[in-house]
């Protein structure tokens, strides 16, 4: 756990759950497992607030609880999971992916489950149906069956899964504290120990979504309505069966999309469509940590290709041969039966994408000539300084400066190979090399720091213009209520003029800056995802 990760976790928790939850979680990240009273004493936080904070963290799967080190009779210990907290950064991408694949209904289902940590199927269906109905025209409403269909598709494709029972994670007895009641948010157990995680319960749901009444607009009444909706799960037949977002499945989809995009940019659209078909055929049967997909025969790939791509069998074989012979090695051949057995080399693909990311970072920071040296060391493994100058065709003085700059930034390593035991410099080879795994870890920490800086800048911009933003929100609320009541255009214009021209210009500039910061966060997160995937893939393939 590095300082940059702890800092980013604290910023994410403060933005989404408040300062108290952030204080408790950051303390757990820095100190490790702690008892309830230990957390309260060391953070100088009232016991009641610590309990509520732990409940929030456990609800969202960001905190584990387990038997104490003194055995069954000891106090329960709580442990924060940084990996799960950092997933908050990727929430918009999860929601957008669900919208792309399953429309507005899938988007709202994933959004509701992410916001609450875990939900029952009936509670999710009713909440999403009400939200969709509220945005429809007067007289129209969303049927529960349509939302159930979208929920079922998300489960069938493993984007949503059941929360494991308490017994599966070795949790403490119920009397241990508030965290023990948050069993549905415990981390998922392996598939063999939790075989029903993709089994849909028999839910009795009939009806349509309801519109919110004007009297329910206050925050307190909305909370009461939500609690009432959650209580209806008892009559729907899925009491105690909670569902959570399967982050590994989303990450698998992101990885597949990155591989398909890389093939399209390197070769052509037809090649990328063939790789996409292979990934789609094995997306459910391939585990997230597998080094390659399940072998697929050329016959199976040919039958699974979309009808819009009028590819004949001989042309498909030519494309598969081209993909196998390509230096990227995204596709490999594993046998000759069924017209040839082919796999997608997931680990090699992630290594290639990660290496391209490292090269682009070096080029952006130090220029194209430094990137040429870096790329050369990646391919040749070990080179002396004179060899670097010759192969890269760069003057000796410039090559020396670039190598030392990369060495000082820990992007290049220097390896000494002595000819004699005395390590005399005149009888020692000095070889420059690039170790991709430590370099990827280093760049990952830089990315965490960059996202933290972007979040702090966005919070600063919002705080500096807090008064103007509050005024704009009040006026927008007044305009919405006037439009709902059928006010005249002159009244609407009068309310709009309450914001002066300079204020309107300042608001526009602020929104532009905040949007740029948000977009930058998402772009850095894409780099973080690639580097994390490569590091995890390298560790599991060893």
Q: Which tens digit of pLDDT belongs to each residue from 382-422?
A: 888 888 888 888 888 998 999 999 999 888 888 888 877 87
Q: What is the pLDDT of residue 7?
A: 92
Between 200 and 92, the higher pLDDT residue: 92
Average pLDDT score over residue span 497-510: 84
- Helices H / strands E in the chain, number of each: 22, 12
Q: What is the pLDDT of residue 138?
A: 72
**Would you place residue 20 in the very low, low, confident or very high pLDDT band (cuts 50, 70, 90)?**
very high
Instruction: Report yes or no: 274 and 301 within 8 Å, Cβ to Cβ.
Output: yes
DSSP state of 292: B
Which residues fall within 8 angstroms of residue 362, CB to CB, at 6 or more apart? 370, 371, 374, 406, 411
Centre a 10 Å sphere on the Cβ of residue 336 and count the other Cβ atoms it contains: 10
**Would you place residue 8 in the very low, low, confident or very high pLDDT band (cuts 50, 70, 90)?**
very high
Q: What is the pLDDT of residue 224?
A: 47
**Would you place residue 211 in the very low, low, confident or very high pLDDT band (cuts 50, 70, 90)?**
low
Q: CA distances (Å), 243 to each of 174, 360, 465, in order?
A: 21, 40, 39
| CA–CA gap between residue 45 and residue 109 (Å, rounded) | 35
Q: Is the pLDDT of residue 491 over 60?
A: yes
Average pLDDT score over residue span 488-512: 83
Please spell the DSSP secondary structure of 361-428, one letter per residue: HHHHHH-HHHHHHHHHHHHHSEE-HHHHHHHHT--HHHHHHHHHHHHHTTSSEEEEEESSTT--GGGE
Q: Is the pLDDT of residue 424 over 90?
A: no
Angle of helix 466-484 relative to helix 501-541, nearest 10 degrees?
100
pTM for the predicted model, two decimal places: 0.83
Encode pLDDT of 317-339 as tens digits. 888 888 888 888 888 888 777 66
Choice among 401-410, 434-443, 484-493 with the minimum mean pLDDT: 484-493
Most confidently modeled range among 284-288, 376-380, 446-450, 510-514? 446-450
Mean model confidence pLDDT for the chain: 82
Q: Is the pLDDT of residue 233 over 60?
A: no
Instruction: Report yes or no: 522 and 529 within 8 Å, Cβ to Cβ.
Output: no
Q: CA distances (Å), 397 to each of 104, 295, 366, 401, 402, in order?
A: 59, 51, 16, 6, 9
């Amino acid at each position: 756990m590095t300082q940059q990760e702890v800092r980013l976790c604290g910023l994410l928790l403060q933005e989404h759950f408040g300062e108290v939850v952030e204080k408790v979680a950051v303390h757990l990240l820095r100190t490790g497992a702690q008892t309830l009273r230990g957390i309260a004493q060391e953070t100088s936080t009232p016991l009641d607030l610590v309990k509520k904070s732990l409940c929030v963290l456990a609800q969202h799967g960001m905190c584990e609880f387990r038997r104490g080190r003194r055995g069954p009779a000891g106090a329960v210990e709580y442990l924060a999971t940084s990996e799960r907290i950092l997933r908050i950064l990727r929430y918009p991408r999860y929601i957008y992916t669900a919208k792309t694949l399953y429309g507005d209904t899938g988007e709202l289902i994933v959004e509701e489950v992410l916001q609450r940590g875990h939900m029952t199927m009936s509670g999710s269906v009713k909440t999403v149906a009400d939200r969709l109905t509220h945005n429809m025209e007067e007289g129209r409403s969303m049927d529960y069956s349509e939302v159930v269909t979208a929920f079922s598709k998300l489960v069938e494709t493993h984007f949503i899964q059941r929360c494991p029972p308490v017994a599966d994670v070795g949790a403490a007895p119920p009397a241990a504290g508030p965290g023990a009641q948050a069993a549905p948010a415990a981390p998922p157990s392996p598939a063999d120990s939790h075989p029903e995680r993709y089994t849909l319960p028999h839910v009795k749901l009939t009806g349509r979504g309801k519109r919110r009444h004007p009297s329910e607009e206050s925050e307190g009444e909305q909370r009461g309505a939500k609690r009432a909706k959650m209580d209806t799960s008892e009559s729907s037949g899925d009491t105690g069966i909670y569902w959570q977002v399967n982050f590994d499945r989303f990450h698998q989809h992101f990885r597949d999309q990155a591989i398909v995009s890389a093939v399209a940019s390197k070769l052509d659209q037809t090649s990328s469509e063939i790789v996409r078909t292979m990934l789609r055929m094995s997306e459910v049967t391939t585990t997230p940590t597998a080094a390659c997909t399940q072998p697929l025969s050329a016959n199976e790939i040919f039958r699974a290709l979309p009808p819009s791509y009028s590819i004949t069998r001989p042309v498909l074989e030519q494309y598969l041969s081209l993909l196998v012979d390509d230096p990227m090695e995204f596709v490999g051949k594993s046998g000759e039966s069924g017209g040839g057995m082919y796999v997608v080399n997931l680990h090699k693909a992630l290594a290639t994408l990660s290496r391209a990311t490292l090269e682009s970072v070096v080029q952006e920071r130090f220029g194209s000539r430094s990137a040429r040296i870096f790329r050369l060391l990646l391919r040749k493994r070990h080179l002396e300084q004179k060899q670097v100058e010759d192969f890269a065709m760069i003057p000796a003085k410039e090559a020396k400066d670039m190598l030392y700059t990369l060495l000082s930034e820990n992007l290049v390593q220097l390896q000494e190979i002595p000819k004699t035991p005395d390590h005399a410099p005149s009888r020692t080879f000095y070889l420059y090399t690039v170790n991709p795994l430590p370099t990827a870890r280093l760049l990952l920490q830089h990315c965490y720091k960059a996202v933290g800086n972007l979040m702090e800048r966005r919070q600063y911009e919002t705080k500096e213009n807090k008064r103007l933003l509050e005024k704009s929100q009040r006026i927008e609320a007044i305009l919405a209520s006037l439009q709902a009541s059928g006010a005249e255009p002159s009244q609407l214009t009068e309310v709009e003029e309450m914001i002066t021209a300079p204020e309107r210009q300042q608001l526009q500039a602020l929104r532009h800056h905040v949007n740029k910061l948000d977009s930058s966060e998402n772009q850095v997160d894409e780099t973080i995802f690639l580097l994390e995937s490569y590091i995890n893939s390298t560790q599991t393939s060893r």
